Amino acid sequence: MRTIRAELGANSHNIYIGPGILGNTTFLLKETGLSGKVVIVTDPVIDGLYGQDLKRGLIQAGYKVTTLLVPRGEDNKSLETAGRLYHDLTDNYADRTTSILALGGGVIGDLAGFVASTYMRGVPFIQVPTTLLAQVDSSIGGKVAVDHGQIKNKVGAFYQPRLIISDTETLKTLPSCEMANGMAEVIKSAAIRNERFFAFLEDNLASIKDLDLPCLEETVFQTAKIKAEIVEKDERELGLRAILNYGHTIGHAIETVSELAIEHGKAVAFGMIAAARISHKMGILDYAGLNRLRELVGKADLPTQMPRMDKVATMQALKHDKKIRNDKIRFVLLKAIGDAFIADNVDLSLVEEVLEASET
Residues 85-114, interacting with ligand NAD (CB under 6 A): 104-108, 110
DSSP 269-306: HHHHHHHHHHHHHTTSS-HHHHHHHHHHHHHTT---S-
Check binding of 180 to ligand NAD (CB under 6 A).
Answer: no
Helices and strands of the chain, counted as H and E runs: 14, 12
In this structure, how many other beta carbons lie within 10 angstroms of the beta carbon of residue 74? 15
Nearest approach, Cβ of 312 to ligand NAD (angstroms)?
26
Is residue 330 among the annotated active site residues?
no
Under 8 Å between Cβ of 328 and 234: no
Check binding of 279 to ligand NAD (CB under 6 A).
Answer: no
Check binding of 2 to ligand NAD (CB under 6 A).
Answer: no
Check binding of 188 to ligand NAD (CB under 6 A).
Answer: no
Is residue 185 among the annotated active site residues?
yes
What is the torsional sign of CA 232, 233, 238, 241? negative
Q: Given 13, 162, 193, 248, which residue is catalytic?
A: 248
Check binding of 17 to ligand NAD (CB under 6 A).
Answer: no
Q: Given 121, 308, 323, 326, which residue is catalytic?
A: 121
Distance CA(236)–CA(158), nearest Å, equals 8
Under 8 Å between Cβ of 194 and 222: yes
Distance CA(181)–CA(188), nearest Å, equals 11
Check binding of 127 to ligand NAD (CB under 6 A).
Answer: no
Q: Given 245, 255, 280, 292, which residue is catalytic?
A: 245
Alpha helices in 152-212 (DSSP H): 176-193, 195-209
Check binding of 148 to ligand NAD (CB under 6 A).
Answer: no
Q: Given 37, 241, 277, 280, which residue is catalytic?
A: 241
Check binding of 138 to ligand NAD (CB under 6 A).
Answer: yes
Check binding of 170 to ligand NAD (CB under 6 A).
Answer: yes
Q: Which of these, 325, 251, 336, lies nearest to 290 by C-alpha position?
A: 336
Check binding of 133 to ligand NAD (CB under 6 A).
Answer: yes
Is residue 64 among the annotated active site residues?
no
Under 8 Å between Cβ of 338 and 195: yes
First-to-final CA distance of the chain: 43
Which residues are paired to 156 by β-bridges? 145
Nearer Cβ to ligand NAD (195/232):
232
Check binding of 45 to ligand NAD (CB under 6 A).
Answer: yes
- The residue from 53, 74, 237, 301 that contacts ligand NAD (CB under 6 A) is 74
**What is the binding site for ligand NAD (CB under 6 A)?**
43, 45-46, 49, 72, 74, 77, 104-108, 110, 130-131, 133-134, 137-138, 141, 143, 152-153, 170, 173-174, 178, 181
User: Active-site residues: which are they?
Assistant: 121, 143, 185, 227, 237, 241, 245, 248, 252, 264
